[in-house]
């Protein structure tokens, strides 16, 4: 493995000139350029990124901190972030925190020591202070799928409350009378906002009662249990809005076992828009543009790294109602 000094010797110019050539910084004459290029090719020289980072302060590495890459929401985020990252010349480090604040803290320390250039965080437990601590180390942060009001933090969330309203309204418009909601975990802002959206629309309906809202843990089995519980209490429900698609799938599975026909007897809508094309009847959902979220997170991060101006606030992303067979009016 040859070094810049080997090239310098072979080309007969100083290392500074080589460096200037490589980084297109400062002046380099035409002749110098040519001899350098020749030497580089002859030696098959590749600059050492480690040394580069040590001297130049940039590692061209960004980290993506997610609770669990197995949750289908996150591969899509990862895919988008990685696409943009690789286009911009960054490399992406993947970190699973397992919803565990200790692992999270630990990872943040490791990443600081690795001098990463920036970090995209998805966490429901992280505190704003931790983000300020990162920024104090000059590491820009973008938070996704979570936000705090009135804090100078760049975050990206989808319009959860509006989305919740859209879902409920859609079921209402489709003629459903008793609409239940399977809510995601209480401490997750996104879940809470979706529930608030549901309440906005349903609270004043004469059939409304709080027991139409049950909690699930955002998993298929959580949705399944929630649906069984719900059906035991309210066998006459006509619509179900699940806080995410996985729970919607679980709910449909339960309904299926009760021999409830979808969408004839009960219409179901989920939230997220993850790819579940294997599923039938195909699930209606409020689609978040997941890919765009990852993409924008990475782009905002790049802007911050390059010290371009960017307002530190929550960026809301629009959602879209997708009507499929699971809630289609006949």
Assess whether the previous peptide bond of 263 is cis (omega < 30° from 0): yes
**Nearer Cβ to DNA (4/167):** 4
**Nearer Cβ to DNA (27/186):** 27
CA 156 to chain centre: 9
Q: Is 49 in the site for a second copy (CB under 8 A)?
A: yes
Dihedral-angle region of residue 246 (phi above 0 means left; psi in -120 to 50 means alpha; beta otherwise) = alpha
**Nearer Cβ to DNA (48/106):** 48
Partner from a second copy, DNA, none binding residue 287, C-beta < 5-8 Å depending on class: none
Q: Of 2-21, which residues contact DNA (CB under 7 A)?
A: 3-5, 12-20
Using the contact rule CB under 8 A, the part of the chain among 3-11, 31-39, 103-111, 184-192 near a second copy is 103-111
Q: Is 134 in the site for a second copy (CB under 8 A)?
A: no
Helix, coil or strand: residue 233: helix
Q: Is 103 in the site for DNA (CB under 7 A)?
A: no
Using the contact rule CB under 8 A, the part of the chain among 64-72, 158-166, 183-191, 208-216 near a second copy is 64-72
Query: Shortest CA distance to 245 belongs to which of 223, 230, 267?
Result: 223
Partner from a second copy, DNA, none binding residue 16, C-beta < 5-8 Å depending on class: DNA
Cα 233 to Cα 75, 205, 277, distances in angstroms = 36, 18, 31
- Cβ of residue 12: shortest distance to DNA, in angstroms? 7
Structure tokens at 272: 């997220």
- Cβ of residue 46: shortest distance to DNA, in angstroms? 7
Distance between CA atoms of residues 311 and 26, nearest Å? 33
> Which residues are registered as beta bridge partners of 119?
63, 141
Q: E strands along 238-325, which residues?
A: 239-242, 267-272, 284-287, 314-317, 320-322
Binding residue count for DNA, defined by CB under 7 A: 33
- Cβ of residue 129: shortest distance to DNA, in angstroms? 24
Residue whose pair of structure tokens reads 């006949």 in the numeric block:
330
Q: Is 29 in the site for DNA (CB under 7 A)?
A: yes
Distance between CA atoms of residues 104 and 100, nearest Å? 6
Q: Transcribe 301-314 into DSSP letters.
A: HHHHHTT-----SE
Cα 208 to Cα 178, 179, 211, 308, distances in angstroms = 7, 8, 9, 49
Q: Is 132 in the site for a second copy (CB under 8 A)?
A: no
**Nearer Cβ to a second copy (49/151):** 49
Q: Is 139 in the site for DNA (CB under 7 A)?
A: no
Q: Is 330 in the site for a second copy (CB under 8 A)?
A: no
Q: Regarding beta strands 284-287 and 320-322, do their DSSP bridges make them parallel or antiparallel, or are they unpaired?
A: antiparallel
* Pure H helices in 60-100: 73-88
The residue from 139, 180, 246, 268 that contacts a second copy (CB under 8 A) is 246
Distance between CA atoms of residues 282 and 296, nearest Å? 28
Q: Is 51 in the site for DNA (CB under 7 A)?
A: yes
- Alpha carbon dihedral 224, 229, 233, 234, in 10-degree steps, equals -10
**Nearer Cβ to a second copy (69/316):** 69
- Cβ of residue 246: shortest distance to a second copy, in angstroms? 7
Q: Is 2 in the site for a second copy (CB under 8 A)?
A: no
Residues that bind DNA (CB under 7 A): 1, 3-5, 12-20, 22-23, 25-32, 45-48, 50-52, 54-56
Residues that bind a second copy (CB under 8 A): 1, 46-51, 53-54, 59, 61, 64, 68-70, 72, 74-76, 78-79, 82-83, 86, 91-96, 103, 107, 109-115, 137, 220-221, 246, 249-250, 252-253, 256, 275-280
């Amino acid at each position: 493995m040859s070094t810049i000094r080997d090239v310098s010797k072979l080309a007969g110019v100083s290392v500074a000139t080589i460096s200037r050539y490589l980084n297109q910084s400062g002046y380099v004459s035409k002749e110098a350029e040519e001899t350098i290029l020749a030497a580089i090719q002859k030696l098959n020289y590749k600059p050492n990124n480690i040394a580069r980072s040590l001297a130049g302060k940039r590692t061209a590495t960004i980290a993506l901190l997610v609770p669990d890459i197995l949750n289908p929401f996150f591969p899509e985020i990862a895919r988008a972030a990685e696409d943009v990252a690789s286009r911009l010349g960054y490399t992406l480090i993947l970190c699973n925190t397992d919803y565990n604040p200790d692992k999270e803290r630990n990872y943040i320390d490791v990443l600081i020591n690795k001098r990463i250039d920036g970090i995209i965080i998805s966490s429901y437990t992280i505190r704003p202070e931790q983000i300020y601590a990162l920024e104090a180390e000059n590491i820009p942060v973008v938070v996704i799928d979570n936000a705090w009001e009135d804090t100078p933090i760049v975050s990206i969330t989808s319009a959860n409350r509006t989305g919740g309203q859209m879902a409920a309204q859609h079921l209402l418009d489709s003629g459903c009378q008793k609409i239940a909601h399977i809510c995601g975990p209480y401490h997750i802002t996104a879940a809470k906002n979706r529930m608030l959206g549901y309440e906005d629309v349903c609270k004043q309906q004469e059939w409304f009662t709080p027991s139409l809202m049950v909690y699930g843990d955002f998993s298929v089995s959580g949705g399944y249990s929630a649906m069984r519980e719900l059906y035991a209490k309210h066998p006459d429900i006509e619509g179900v809005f699940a806080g995410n698609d996985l729970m919607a799938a679980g709910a449909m599975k339960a309904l299926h076992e009760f021999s409830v026909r979808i969408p004839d007897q009960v219409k179901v809508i989920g939230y997220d828009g993850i790819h579940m094309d294997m599923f039938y009847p195909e699930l209606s959902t409020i689609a978040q543009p997941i890919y765009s979220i990852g993409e924008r997170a990475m782009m905002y991060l790049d802007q911050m790294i390059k010290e371009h101006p960017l307002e530190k606030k929550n960026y809301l992303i629009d959602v879209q109602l997708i009507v499929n067979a699971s809630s289609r009016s006949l």
